[in-house]
Structure 1
Amino acid sequence: MLKVVIIGSGNVAHHLITVFEQSNSVQLVQAYARNAASLSNLLPASKITTNFNTILPADVYIISVTDDAIAEVAALLPFTNQLVVHTSGSVGLQQLNAKNRRGVFYPLQTFSKNKAVDFKQIPLCLESELEADYAILETLAKAVSDNVYAINSKQRQSLHVAAVFVNNFVNDLYRIGYDICNENNVPFDILRPLIHETANKVQVLQPKEAQTGPAKRNDVRTMEKHLAFLTDEKKKIIYTLLSQSIQNNNE
């Protein structure tokens, strides 16, 4: 059984702690947090440390902190020649301190502490310097997920950029749609089945094949009406840029 220590207390750390605690193939021996109270709802006090010098022995140490803090935390670890990985999509493997064996354990998903996820469905993107360490990470990943990929740092960077487009940017478009509905006394709930169907379509179709709407049809009259309706200049710019992108890719 693989022994794991989680270093961090943010959204990703919370979900990793939860899934490892539920696994019959992984032993979560400890979690580190600057403030023990941030993990007290997940673990007993005996499994939480706030001192790097009291971190227990493990097969894998997973640093799950903000991107800017990864290098600093890796440098503070008081041991050497251990397998230390981070969970970031945008930080290179080389950012980890070379005193330990380095790797990446990147779950490609959006996480919120209070929203449960089916970890079996989450893609886990793995990278390591040593082949033997990759085998360890693969065993760990397959204990909690059915979707495990060998992804190098450059590929992971491209995935992270793509994820910003399909997740963060799309969510902000939901926010714009919500605001438009709210400003005009229309229930946003009316749009939820459309959002659901759009997300479902790209499970079976390429995004270009799933595209519909006035820009795809080159329905200039409708697009002009929409732009005339919008009073916020920023929304007009977003509408125009996205319409042009759709048109350029459907010529």
Structure 2
Amino acid sequence: MNIAVLGAGNIAWHLSKALIHAGHPVKQIWNRTAEKAVALALEIGADSITHLNQIDADIDLIIIAVSDEAITSVAKELQLLPQQLLVHTSGSTALNVLLPYTQKAGVLYPLQTFSKAVQIDFSQIPIAIEAFDESSTQVLFNLAKALSTKTYYINTQQRLMLHTAAVFACNFTNHFYTIAQTLMQQSGLDFNLIRPLIQETAAKVQQILPSEAQTGPAKRNDQLTIQKHLELLQTHTAWKLLYQQISQDIVKMYAKDTSSLK
């Protein structure tokens, strides 16, 4: 299968390499910033193109790996041939945004956080697929199976819920790491002090469910400790409110009583 990847960001970077490793050559790379397309193309041995009308006729699969807000505008510019399958990689964008431009439409969503500087074993990444017709579904299923041992058919609504859950589990969690980093730096503490705790917390949920792994003052409804923390956060109004709201939610989930968290 000959593939063109539209985009040169983190997902495009990792996905292109994984496709090649799985035996599916990425022939062409496009990006609105031409220099980025050239950089990725040189990295993987593909051709970079400057215009979307330069996609070769022998391309079987076109992967739109751009920001969510750019997917439709990119699709509009394409001049697709009847046999070409068009997919996007978004977790929160519906399949049907592609249907005005092609009936051979699909989604290939790898559930992972990507950074160019960090190597990832793509074979362990869950891949959610969805397609408009049965033949496209089979093509994407076979491709996803070549990339990963964890392939799932997930519809648009389920994928949006999965993406929302991923924001809580990954993006929000990392933001909390950043808050912890800032608080520690303000007290002259090294962030390395807390890294073993982060590692153990992440390791626990590989063995048991998060609801079973919950610990801390809110889980115990330890109001004395909670109030000490809130007082410490007096100068960080937004973080104090965040701490209070999250503590209330944890108390509600485990103790069914938030009346004392004022």
Q: Where on the TM-score scale, by shorter chain, does this alignment land: which range?
A: over 0.9
1:232 is aligned to 236
Deviations 1:122-154 (A, max 9, x none): 111000011111111111111111111100000
Q: Please identify, of 157-166 and 31-40, the stretch whose mean Cα deviation from structure 2 is larger.
A: 31-40
Contact 2:92–2:163 (CA under 8 A) maintained in structure 1: yes
Percentage of matched positions with identical amino acids: 43
Q: What code does the residue aligned with 2:250 have? A: I
3 and 172 in structure 1: CA distance in 2 versus 1, 3 angstrom threshold: same
**SS in structure 1 at match of 2:90:** coil
Q: What code does the residue aligned with 2:87 have? A: V
2:159 to 156, 161, 178: 156
1:53 is aligned to 53
1:129 is aligned to 132
Contact 1:80–1:99 (CA under 8 A) maintained in structure 2: no
Contact 2:27–2:46 (CA under 8 A) maintained in structure 1: no
Contact 1:17–1:28 (CA under 8 A) maintained in structure 2: yes
Q: Please identify, of 91-100 and 232-241, the stretch whose mean Cα deviation from structure 2 is larger.
A: 91-100
Contact 2:68–2:93 (CA under 8 A) maintained in structure 1: yes
2:114 to 96, 111, 114: 111
Shift, 1:98, TM fit: 2.9
Gaps of 5+ in 1: none
1:94 is aligned to 96
**CA distance in structure 2 between the aligned counterparts of 1:233 and 1:35, rounded to whole angstroms:** 40
TM-score (norm 1): 0.95
**CA distance in structure 2 between the aligned counterparts of 1:72 and 1:106, rounded to whole angstroms:** 19
Alignment pair present for 1:16 and 2:15 = yes
2:204 is aligned to 201
106 and 87 in structure 1: CA distance in 2 versus 1, 3 angstrom threshold: same
Gaps of 5+ in 2: 256-262
Alignment pair present for 1:76 and 2:77 = yes
Shift, 1:195, TM fit: 0.3
Q: What code does the residue aligned with 2:207 have? A: V
Deviations 1:2-28 (A, max 9, x none): 2211111111111111212323x2121
Deviations 1:33-77 (A, max 9, x none): 223321333323861111212112222110011111111111111
Query: For 1:1-40, what aligned pairs fall within 5 Å after superposition?
Result: 2-23=1-22, 25-40=23-38
**SS in structure 2 at match of 1:114:** coil
**CA distance in structure 1 between the aligned counterparts of 2:46 and 2:211, rounded to whole angstroms:** 52
Contact 1:90–1:156 (CA under 8 A) maintained in structure 2: yes
**SS in structure 2 at match of 1:143:** helix
**CA distance in structure 2 between the aligned counterparts of 1:33 and 1:186, rounded to whole angstroms:** 42
Shift, 1:97, TM fit: 4.2
**CA distance in structure 1 between the aligned counterparts of 2:50 and 2:208, rounded to whole angstroms:** 48
CA RMSD in angstroms, aligned pairs only: 1.4
46 and 131 in structure 1: CA distance in 2 versus 1, 3 angstrom threshold: closer
Contact 1:26–1:143 (CA under 8 A) maintained in structure 2: no
Alignment pair present for 1:216 and 2:219 = yes
**SS in structure 2 at match of 1:113:** coil
**CA distance in structure 1 between the aligned counterparts of 2:231 and 2:101, rounded to whole angstroms:** 60
